A and B are shown apart, each in its own frame.
Chain A
Amino acid sequence: MPSSTSSSKSPALVHARVLLGICALLVLFFEIFADYLLKHDSETYGRVSQQYAEAVKVRPSRSGEPVSVLMVGNSLLMEGIDVDRLQELTSSKMRIYPIFLEATGYYDWLYGLERLFRQGARPQVVVLGVGVNSFLQDSVRQDYAPMMFFDVRDVLGVASDLKLDRTATTNLLLAHSSAFWDARSVIRTQVLRHAVPHCRELFALVKSKPALPPSSELELITLARIQTLRQLCDAHGAKLIILVPPTRSSEDAVRQMAIASQKVGVDSLVPIDPATLSEKFYQPDELHLNSEGAALFTSALATYLPGEIGEPKSASSHN
């Protein structure tokens, strides 16, 4: 740098260079460290990447074999379904490939499913269950999802759909390509859990719950979204089923979602009417089912899901 008041040997300039060098090294270290943490220490990353890898290999079953079902959703399904038990109860009729990632919604799975199909996944049935609020929210998960569910073109698609500004788009692109940027909120949460007593309970409380849009808009948005998902699944020979897990005081929203699905010609499955579930079946957040509620929901799902699947196209009718 040119200088009229200081030479390149000025201690300030030397230390400025040292500082910028340290910054570059630290950024590199954080990137390697975050990548290591994700791959070796993160339960979520391990679980979802394994589920995703298996889902990519899903192919249509041959005639007489159990139907291949890709089941995707957020924590409502993760907490509400005992997948092993469900598989056991329905093993003769279907083979389930789950991918559950907490705090995901419509856009995570729209682009996540697109990518799965692009990578060769060919399930006969796609079951999507994220709850009404998450289905209607206009956002994507900022960690895990950009790295695990999206390609660059998906990130740009998400940014366009959500009308993100350029800064937010850049952040999402960075989360897609940098392990540290993707994992930094996870790192912060882990550090706070060690530093703040009862942090888990505090974070469960402060987490903002997505609000429902006005009912006039709710139907329009739901119709458009289910239609888009249906077209995506149809294009890849899969039947779409919208699974609506119960949450407290969600009867009206669940009903509206079911009606919207019917209008678009998509099967919706409400295995348990939320009105019939009392408080004792929910966790303290009144959103997720507890173990008792999960047992009930799993049984109900095992009863009704095979019926909804019906007779999907077998491998012979697919490419």
Chain B
Amino acid sequence: MLFDSPAYFLFLIPVALVYWRLPHRAQNILLLLASYFFYGWWDWRFLALMIGSTTMDFLIAQKITAGRADSNRKKWFVLSLVLNFGILGVFKYFDFFTGSFSTALETLGIHHIPLPLIRVILPPGISFYTFQEVAYIVDVYKGRLEPAKSFLDYGLFISLFPHLIAGPIQRPGHLLPQVQKDRAFDADRFFDGLMLIFSGLVRKCVVADNCALLANAAFGGQFGPSNFWIVLIGTYAFAWQVYGDFSGYSDIARGSAQLLGFHFIVNFRQPYLSHRLQEFWRRWHISLSTWLRDYLYIPLGGSAGGRWKTSRNLLITMVLAGLWHGANWTFVVFGAIHGAVLAAERCLFPVKTKQKDAARTQHSAGVFSLWAQRILTFNLFCLSLAFFRAASLPAAVQFLAGLSHFAWRTEYASAFFMLCLFSIPLFVVDLLMEASNQEYPFANAPYAVRTALAAFALVILALFSGNNLNAFVYFQF
């Protein structure tokens, strides 16, 4: 069930209406059943996989706590990691690595080696719920979290439908207590939830889907052989598509959660206003980047071991982050580019120990310098997106090779105009939110103003959201 489909709202409205009339335990039972229905809407067979994986981690967490000896606890912990990443590996990466191995053998002149391929469809949301389960097991093992005593609570923490398919990846310490405790209806939060849903729908259906039209055409060759202008249209349009798409999804997820009395962490904070890539990753897909920081980068040693070890850790983390996005070498290269640039930034601009120093530096840099850095960072991200979006490495290289040709067609002007029509309003909204530090535009305006804005958003949706072509980009991850 896609968040931007009428089916989702036909599902959400009755669930929310019934939900607030029930006591706490019945609320959790309703939400668990609704979440399994939501997931099974795609394919009931994958539901068994998710329930199996949830049950396994629930039981292992009990064993980790019950086991007195450290060696026993460690065995269960390692078993859980192997099983979780094993399931993810089989479903998401098995064919990729087997195929790559086969290609490598053929390059070496070894042909006709029969290698098994499982050709299974990727279960929706597997990357997201696996990371959430791993976070839970790690936190329990490290003693940072008491394991859930009730399967109902743990099952709901993993499968709560607003975050189930594409996040934001919820930290056990943040969401599990919310599942376990009574939730009181809060009208302000309910209203904010509605506003977030409208904000998300506009981001997804208006900005992302219309930019997708241009990005698909540029990367699909409909504009002709790649050249400078097509690379610009393609990468810029895709940058706004993927931002509108995923931030929109996150807003709808957070809004839906708030209608049910839950709070989800913010997943995007105006990422295109970052002046460096380091800052960008603190603003973009925050739930993933903080997960990677806490459960991969820091355990690898983080920045504690000197310049080279820090660079190595950054590179490993970002390559794996790239691979998390999809089983393709294009994502590996995307991650490697980001890892390399982050390492370079670390060397060139050492992290300030005090925030005041950082703020002073930013202030002294001046507005022009700040905007120059923002533009540079945005364009660097856009270029790396060529690898994220292209179907293969040769296709990405061929696309970027067009940068040295400048053949112009009048249709490009229309494409840039259309791109501006949909991206500039979102950019202005980002500037407003940056200035006011709000969770959605005009969050502090009077209710009547916000109600009017939401009604206006619905009119905009009716006029501009007619594109049936694009499912959420992050659903494939």
A interface, CB within 8 angstroms of B: 1-6, 10-16, 18-20, 22-23, 26, 30, 142, 165-167, 170-171, 174, 180-181, 184-189, 191-192, 195-199, 201-202, 205-209
Contact A5–B184 (Cβ < 8 Å): yes
Given known pairs A187-B463, A202-B414, A206-B222, the reply for A167 and B468 (CB within 8 Å) is: no
Identify 30 residue pairs between A and B in the complex whose beta-carbon atoms are under 8 Å apart, listed by A's number.
Answer: A1-B185, A3-B187, A4-B184, A4-B185, A6-B188, A10-B187, A10-B188, A12-B187, A12-B190, A15-B191, A15-B447, A15-B448, A16-B191, A19-B455, A20-B194, A23-B455, A26-B458, A26-B459, A26-B462, A167-B2, A170-B5, A170-B6, A174-B6, A188-B466, A189-B466, A196-B418, A196-B421, A197-B417, A198-B413, A202-B418
Beta-carbon contact of A191 and B463 below 8 Å:
yes
Measured between beta carbons, the chain B residues less than 8 angstroms from A12 are 187-188, 190-191, 447
Q: Which listed residue, B6, B187, B194, B451, touches A171 by the CB 8 Å rule? A: B6
Residue ID in chain B nearest A25 by CB atoms: B455
Residues on A with beta carbons closer than 8 Å to the beta carbon of B298: none
B459, A3: Cβ atoms under 8 Å? no
Add 6 more A-B contacts to A166-B42, A208-B217 (CB < 8 A).
Answer: A16-B187, A26-B458, A192-B418, A198-B413, A199-B414, A208-B222
Check if A207 sits within 8 Å of B222, measured CB to CB: yes
**In the complex the two chains form, what is the Cα distance from A142 to B5 in whole Å?**
14
Which of A5, A23, A202 has the most CB atoms of chain B within a 10 A radius of its CB? A202
Task: State the CA gap A14–B191 with chains docked (Å).
Answer: 9
From A26, A166, A205, contact of B217 by CB (8 A)? A205
Within 8 Å CB of A11, what residues of B?
A: 447
Complex-state Cα separation, A180 to B21, whole angstroms: 33
**Complex Cα–Cα for A22 and B459 (A):** 11
User: What is the bound-complex CA distance between A197 and B412, given in angstroms?
Assistant: 11
Interface residues of B in 26-43 (CB under 8 A from A): 41-42
Q: With a CB–CB cut-off of 8 A, which chain B residues contact A2? A: 20-21, 185
Cα A186 to Cα B467 with chains together (Å):
10
Decide if A22 touches B222 in the complex (CB within 8 Å): no
Interface residue tally on B, bucketed by range: 35 or more
Interface of A is mostly: helix
User: In the complex, A286 Cα to B186 Cα: how many Å?
Assistant: 60
Q: Which 4 A-B pairs have the closest CB atoms?
A: A185-B466, A188-B466, A206-B217, A12-B187
* Residue B464 interfacial (CB < 8 Å): yes
The answer to whether A202 and B411 touch across the interface, beta carbons within 8 angstroms, is yes
- Measured CB to CB, the nearest residue on chain A to B259 is A16
The smallest beta-carbon distance between A216 and chain B, in angstroms, is 18
Give the shortest distance, in Å, between A268 (CB) and chain B (any CB).
Answer: 30
Partner among A4, A166, A174, A197 whose Cβ is within 8 Å of the Cβ of B41: A166
Tell me the complex Cα distance, A305–B405, Å: 49
Are the C-beta atoms of A167 and B5 separated by less than 8 Å?
yes
B410 at the A interface (CB under 8 A): yes
Most buried by B among A15, A30, A180, A207: A15
**Cα distance, A181 to B468, chains bound together (Å):** 10
B454 at the interface (CB under 8 A from A): yes
What chain A residues lie within 8 Å of B194 (beta carbons)? 16, 19-20
**B120 CB to nearest chain A CB (Å):** 16
Is the Cβ of A188 less than 8 Å from the Cβ of B465? yes
State whether A196 touches B6 (Cβ < 8 A). Answer: no
| B300 lies within 8 A of chain A by Cβ | no
Contacts of A22 in B (CB 8 A): 451, 454-455, 458
Residues of chain B contacted by A209 (CB below 8 angstroms): 222
Distance in angstroms from A41 CB to nearest chain B CB is 15
Rounded to whole Å, the gap between the CB of B121 and the closest CB of chain A is: 11
Q: Is B290 in contact with chain A by the CB < 8 A criterion?
A: no
B contact residues around A184 at 8 Å (CB): 462, 465-466
The reply on B450 being an interface residue by CB < 8 A is: yes
Cβ distance B112 to chain A, nearest Cβ, rounded Å? 21
Q: For the complex, give the distance between the alpha carbons of A188 and B213 in Å.
A: 13
Q: Which residue in chain B gives the minimum CB-CB distance to A30?
A: B462
Question: Closest B-chain residue to A180, C-beta based?
Answer: B462
Are B185 and A3 closer than 8 Å at their CB atoms? yes
Q: Are A6 and B187 in contact (CB under 8 A)?
A: yes
Are B467 and A15 in contact, with the CB atoms below 8 A?
no
The minimal Cβ–Cβ distance linking B157 to chain A, given in whole angstroms, is 23
Q: Are A201 and B411 in contact (CB under 8 A)?
A: yes
Docked Cα-Cα span, A171 to B21, in Å, equals 30
